[in-house]
Amino acid sequence: MIEKVGQHFIIGLRGPTLLPDERDFLIKYNIGGVILFDRNLQSPEQIHALCTELHSLRQETKDHAPLIVSIDMEGGRVHRLKSPFTKWPALKHIGDVNSSSLAFRFALHMGEEMRAFGINLDFAPCVDIFSNPKNVLIGDRSLSTDPEIVTHLASAIVRGYLKAGVIPCAKHFPGHGATEIDSHFDLPVSEETLMDLDKSQSLEPFKKVFKSRCDLVMTAHIKYEKIDAKWPVTLSPTFLKQILRDVLRYRGLIITDDLDMKALAKYYPKEQIPVQALVAGANILLYCNDFNSPGKAMNAVARAIKEKVIPIEQIEKNYSEILSFKKKHIGDSQMPYPLEKAMDIIKRQEHKEFAEAVASGQVQKFLQDSPE
């Protein structure tokens, strides 16, 4: 059973090489995936070697399932892959032009560079509507203040990532654009009702990307006291089961935002958080920066299964759906391309010119040539 629990986790690594204890943990517990940050990314050669080693671990795990190798790459402020990878502008620049062909190309080219190095999941796009000017967390990470623009372009971005062979993840459900507090440091609390969410059209981009075959959505650590007075979204059966599954009829996987963020860690016991997230309806648990957390969380989940707090049938169902998701989106083509070919892709002049054109707003050349 422990290997089925392990598939529910995506975890961070300490540095640019896979340490022996990390390797042992990933194999022994059949961990579903990893997430890469600046501390793990030094040069194309090092990234290529790390991702090659990570993907090779599937041969040593019990079910030989492909590993998710994920990253936060949105462009702008959230940009993990440094030169000679292309420097991509923030999503707001795409929204300012409001071209679906441009949005598609943006995600396609970014995805091509990630996929070349074995990165197969990007925690993007942000489909949050930037409805509060005081919201420093989202800001230019959002496509627009206009719900129709966000909805229209988010769908094209999803299609671009999929075309590149990279799994997109829509975030942060049900929308982080109206908050002021940064959930990395505290829990945002909203007085919005479900009717307010409908009125603001916060849910519309999610509905659209789901129809565009986006099979992964990330939850927001926000508490809507008039919708669920007890739990923030990530831990809320009301949001994950009733609204996301029943009302929106979403059938893909649900992943949490980092469960060590202060929005949750300040208010709930560390052992309770992963258990409640699964009880609420999450499929995958994300742990980014505290390297002791995944082991503790796995122990907490194992106890909850034993004590029947989490039904064993739910773990079995999640496990089956995660493997099906991986088969559909990753299959057997997860390894990085040969290094020489991968280097050619990240050095493509077309990518550099396109990114610079988007950043400057001088995109006429690319508007006449749709890649779709």
Segments of 196-297 assigned E as strands: 216-219, 223-224, 253-255, 285-287
Given a contact cutoff of 8 angstroms between Cβ atoms, the answer to whether 16 and 50 are in contact is: yes
CA-based diameter of the chain, in Å? Answer: 62
Active-site residue identified among 122, 257, 258, 260: 257
Separation CA 17–CA 333 (nearest Å): 22
Separation CA 97–CA 364 (nearest Å): 10
Catalytic status, residue 48:
no
Separation CA 26–CA 39 (nearest Å): 19
Outline where 165-261 has alpha helix (H): 194-200, 204-211, 237
Q: Which two tokens stand for residue 115?
A: 């996929």
Map residue 20 onto helix, strand or coil.
helix
Catalytic status, residue 184:
yes
Given a contact cutoff of 8 angstroms between Cβ atoms, the answer to whether 178 and 133 are in contact is: no
Q: Which of 14, 13, 16 is nearest to 44 (CA)?
A: 16
Tell me: cis bond preceding 79? Omega within 30 of 0 counts.
no
Separation CA 158–CA 177 (nearest Å): 19
Q: Look up tokens 């993840």; give the residue.
A: 169
Q: Which two tokens stand for residue 258?
A: 């980092």
Separation CA 140–CA 150 (nearest Å): 12
Q: Which of 288, 298, 257, 336 is nearest to 13 (CA)?
A: 288
Active-site residue identified among 21, 38, 63, 184: 184
> Which residues in 173-194 are b (16+ Cβ under 10 Å) and which e?
bbbbbbbebbbeeebbebebeb
Q: Would you name the residues annotated as active-site residues? A: 184, 257
